Amino acid sequence: VRVAVGSGNPCKIEAVRRAFDQMFSSDDVKIVISSHSVPSGVADQPFGDKETREGAKNRALAAYNAACSEAAENNCLEDMPDFAVGLEGGLDKVVFEKHEELWCMAWMAIIGNNITTCTSAKAEDDEYCAVNGESKSLSWGYAKTGSFL
């Protein structure tokens, strides 16, 4: 399974590696990670869910496109990514009765290219099935961390 990560940050790359190792732990699958320093397209310090999620989505898509371009340039189509991941940290105001606090949070966006390997990583109750084992469209998934002080 090839995973493009939209970051050069070693902590983010290792987090993605561990997540995919865990997801595919029961399969005999080798996880290959490529990192791509790509822009988020949002403020350096995103504020609120909408902007932070958008940054994660932009990073995932940019990493996917960068990995696809590298594979095409090297004439090595087997290096096309199966997944791409974007991670973006942000801030948000949380109102408690009469005061506001600034909280940290993060969003993760994942693109899957819908081949059978990707769709096997879906939730157990998800009934999606790629047509004839493959699909040319991309699937998106999002997750948000809990907010913290």
Residue 133 pLDDT exceeds 70 = no
Amino acid at 127: E
Residue 37 pLDDT exceeds 90 = yes
Confidence of residue 113 (pLDDT cuts 50, 70, 90): confident
Cα separation values, 114 from 38, 44, 84, 101, 129, Å: 23, 31, 12, 40, 9
Res 8: pLDDT = 94
Residue 123 pLDDT exceeds 70 = no
The pLDDT tens digits for 85-107 are: 999 999 998 888 888 888 899 99
Res 114: pLDDT = 65
Q: Residues 92, 48: contact at Cβ < 8 Å? A: yes
Residue 32 pLDDT exceeds 90 = yes
